[in-house]
Structure 1
Amino acid sequence: MRPLFALPALLLLAACSEQQMCISRATQDLRAVRGFVNEAEGNLARGYALVETQVVDYERKLCGVKPNGDKKYCRVAVEETVVERKAIDLDGEAAKLAVLRQKEAALVLKTDAQVLACQQAYPD
């Protein structure tokens, strides 16, 4: 039964051309750094960071019937993601953002060259 779950992923990968996969690999680091830049900019704009935490709570659910006909309830763990505010060092965050922007600028040059190489190696 598990191979059926993998089938959509395989079809999706098969739909990607060699050029698209090459470009995706080439831009992976730049996308990550841009995500960090966006996060740092958001933190500075808000004045605090947002941190996701996993919280486990318990719910009472019907899990069967007792031999005498009464309903049987069980405690079931339910995991939730909670977003909490976290204090940050604004000067440190600004310094981090400056370094990330420098790294982004360097990666743009590197990535542009890699994308061009991908386009030449795998023309559509």
Structure 2
Amino acid sequence: MRRNTTLALCLAPVLALAACGTPQERCISRNTSEFRTVSSLLADVEGNLSRGYAWEERQVVRTRFAQCETVTRDREGRAVVSTYGCWRDYVDSERYRVPIDPVAEARKRDGLIARRDALSRSAQAAVTACRAAYPETG
């Protein structure tokens, strides 16, 4: 009996996350994901064209001074915490500009617009079908 209880407790957060949104919202999200991805990519490309450059991110390791702790035992076995200053590494993200080829970027934009237009018809049909299959009451 204990094993089933433990399994249920472990699966509860997973099931709760899977149950996010109404059935209609999950259906729409599942069937329009490619359309949303292409739209997001198109927005990035249009932003690059308007700025004249693209943004990229890289991970940088930096060092900073921090408080460190050490735990020792006294003669009676009690834990004694001591603090001292030390240098610690941490990872930071930094954005930087990347030059673009405007002609290639415009070609990419045109391809994404064509793909988005083709996907919009199927996405709209999917939204209509999801609304019919899972009507929301309220």
Structure 2 stretches lacking a partner, 5+ long: 1-8, 73-81
- Counterpart pick for 2:102 among 90, 110, 116: 90
8 Å CA contact retained: 1:58, 1:78: yes
Q: How does 1:1-124 map to 2 (within 5 A)?
A: 7=13, 10=16, 14=19, 16-64=21-69, 72-124=84-136
Amino acid at match of 2:88: V
Q: Deviations over 1:2-54 (max 9, x none)?
A: x69x74982x6545111110001111111111110100000000100011111
How much has 1:72 moved relative to structure 2? 2.7
Where 2:49 maps in the other structure, the secondary structure is helix
Distance 2:70 2:134 in 1: 63
Task: Give TM-score scaled by structure 1 length.
Answer: 0.82
Structure 1 stretches lacking a partner, 5+ long: none
How much has 1:95 moved relative to structure 2? 0.2
Distance 1:51 1:89 in 2: 15
Coordinate RMSD, CA, aligned: 2.5
How much has 1:75 moved relative to structure 2? 2.3
Distance 2:52 2:115 in 1: 23
Task: Give TM-score scaled by structure 2 length.
Answer: 0.74
Aligned length: 118
Distance 1:26 1:65 in 2: 53
Structure showing greater Rg: 2
